[in-house]
Homo-oligomer: A and B are copies of this chain.
Amino acid sequence: MDLHEYQAKQLFAKFGVPAPKGKVARTPDEAAAIAKELGSVVVVKAQVHTGGRGKAGGVKVVKSPEEARAAAEKILGMDIKKHKVQIVLVDPGADIKKELYFAVTNDRAARKPLFMASSEGGMDIEQVNRETPEKIIRVHVDPLLGLREYQVVKMASGMGLAREYWGQFSKIAHNLYRCYVETDATLCEINPLAIVGTESGPMLMALDGKMSIDNNALMSHPDLAELRDASGEPEEEIKAREEGLNYVKLGGQIGCMVNGAGLAMATMDMVAQFGEADGILPANFLDVSGGAGEDKVAAALRIILSDPAVKSIMINIFGGITRCDEVAKGILQALAEVPTDLPMIIRLTGTNQDEGLKIINDANLPNVQSARSFSEAAQKAVAAVKGA
């Protein structure tokens, strides 16, 4: 789960990583009020779950509350890569002396947390990686041992940080690691980690922040789960997540319900293989995931039926931990609640498949066909759309 910049920076500050004391606004008036409170120069920044907001005009430095109001007016409601801006962060302006890059994330291949630090902050770090990879100092952390001071020294020394900042940098590194561990983050990124002038002298500060939390860990962190801002997402996807389903709307005509992400992807591929020539495509990706009971399946069906573009439904279940009889009961339950006469192709294979098919057949529904093979199911689903 991605966090907004302002949420990441609030968490950084909570763990002792200095960040500007900005506030969020949802209206131009709020933005002006915050700018007034902060005094002098402020930065108005769009809060959206996508990159490239700078280039899109989503970040503006302004010099008065009036300018802040005007900037917020422009930015709020802006569309950045299909994300509608609904919140802006109003941060105090900073006297930036130098910009660094600093992040910790999971290195899947090494199976360890990885710190990356670079003197080349504030810019596109992927470009730095392509052009001057030696300018990114990489340090793997032993997950059992945690970040060690010598590793911090390696980063500070390696990126040529002036020695008077090593003490500050060490605290930030250890605190960022604590933040990463205690929030079960998959990414904590500060870009730029800037040296800024302050009344008490120059100090390191996280001027921008990005955090992602491990979805599997949200159950143990209810406070973090509440930070989810779904305001930009399609309603069906929000509903699906609430039901524990993995749903992505795609815009085609065949509603797909599948168990398992791999099989769901293969199902979409198969539908496209037979339908693409006629412009018939999957309406969605929907993985009911392992162990789906009847309630979950019913919810999935309800979500599929809520999409008006859907002209036929393909249910492809290969029962392992999911039992076909429960799937069958779920389908009937959902159909009782949300009646439909859309053609429905059901393929149930695997654990308790006979019981499952018997339940479907006994219900004797006119619009339901069964299929034994995967390709047969896809072909029937495509044919049903064509015949409609």
Contact = CB atoms under 8 A, between A and B. Distances in A.
Interface of A: 144-145
2 contacts: A144-B144, A144-B145
Top 2 closest A-B pairs, CB basis?
A: A144-B144, A144-B145
A144 B145 CA distance: 6
Contacts of A144: 144-145
Q: Identify whether the interface residues of A are mostly helix, strand, loop, or mixed.
A: loop
A145 B146 CA distance: 11
Nearest to A144: B144
A111 to B, nearest CB: 15
A105 to B, nearest CB: 22
A144 B144 CA distance: 5
Contacts of A145: 144
A248 to B, nearest CB: 37
A30 to B, nearest CB: 43
Nearest to A143: B144
A302 to B, nearest CB: 39
Nearest to A145: B144
A373 to B, nearest CB: 45
A144 B142 CA distance: 10
A145 B143 CA distance: 9
A45 to B, nearest CB: 40
A146 to B, nearest CB: 9
A144 B143 CA distance: 9
A175 B145 CA distance: 20
Nearest to A142: B144
A145 B144 CA distance: 6
A285 B320 CA distance: 74
A178 to B, nearest CB: 15
A179 B145 CA distance: 19
A220 to B, nearest CB: 14
